[in-house]
Amino acid sequence: MKILALPRDPNPYQRLLYGELARHGADVRYVGDLTPSRTLNLLALPLELAACRARGWRVLHVHWVFGFQLPGAGRLPIMRRVAQAWFVAVLWVAARLGLKIVWTAHNVLPHERVFHDDVAARRALVRASDLVVLHSAQTRDALAGIGAPPRRSAVVPPGPFAAAVDAGALPAPGSGAGRRRLLFFGKVIAYKGVEELLAAVERVPGVELTVAGECTDPALRARLGELAGDRVALRLEHI
């Protein structure tokens, strides 16, 4: 099987998934990143899909839609409408080319706004998808709740990113003599509530926190720096 993946993301999920698929004989290629320019890549995407289809690629596997966000969308609301129209057009082109569209529903809706109407865009994606991969049955219900019930779906819980750890070999939380040590690990994005976590740590004595993960939002980095007390260590970088 020849699979086109969209978009490319450093999330370990894709690397582990496609590595396993490759061991089972699948070919995987990322699309939408021909050039350093996101806008140019979006404009070229239909032609890229057509060229790949002509060479025998059969499946378009969609993960997230953040790559369809256009520059200036925060200042010019019409850019979100343009992005949404182009997104729907790309789905239409993919279907007309004979590509089978698979969407993995990592989230019911984007955590951060992408289109003028993210719900309508999600409905369009589900309608275009020949298969929707869900991480839980509850996601199917949530999609139905926004008017986007998949016509065909499969529940595939995400696997562990590392080998299992023997819990019996770990010390019980709070069993040591020092402070309890907490860890936030992963991309630091506003919707994850890291600011609220720092505020909570400030109110709880005997606890220290490490926040480890990349933060690309300068304003959020500044706010976290102001909130972090002497019991909070910030490592706002890719780990």
pLDDT at site 167: 75
pLDDT of 163 higher than 70: no
**Where do the domains of the chain lie, and which CATH numbers do they carry?**
2-155 (3.40.50), 168-235 (no CATH)
Give the pLDDT mean for 54-78. 95
Taking CB atoms within 8 Å and a gap of at least 24, the contacts of 134-140 are 134/105, 135/105, 135/106, 139/105, 139/108
* pLDDT for the residue 200: 95
Euclidean distance between CA atoms 212 and 205, whole angstroms: 21
- Write out the two tokens for 8: 């490319």
Q: What pLDDT is attached to residue 90? A: 98
Q: Is the pLDDT of residue 196 over 90?
A: yes
Percentage above 90 pLDDT, the chain: 84
Report pLDDT for 118: 98
Determine the average pLDDT of the residues in 162-190.
Answer: 81
Output the pTM of the full model: 0.84
Average pLDDT of the chain, as a whole number:
93
- Asked if the model's pLDDT at residue 161 lies above 70, the reply is no
* pLDDT of 162: 66
The residue-averaged pLDDT of 109-124 equals 96
Q: Which amino acid is at 106?
A: H
DSSP bridge partners of 101: 60
pLDDT at 66 over 70: yes
pLDDT on residue 42: 96
pLDDT band of 199, cuts 50, 70, 90: very high
What does the pLDDT read at residue 178? 76
Tell whether the model's pLDDT for residue 164 goes beyond 90.
no
Which regions of the chain does DSSP assign to beta strands (E)?
A: 2-6, 27-30, 59-62, 100-105, 131-134, 153-155, 180-185, 207-212, 232-235
pLDDT at 74: 85
pLDDT, position 159: 76
Confidence at residue 175, expressed as pLDDT on a 0 to 100 scale: 74
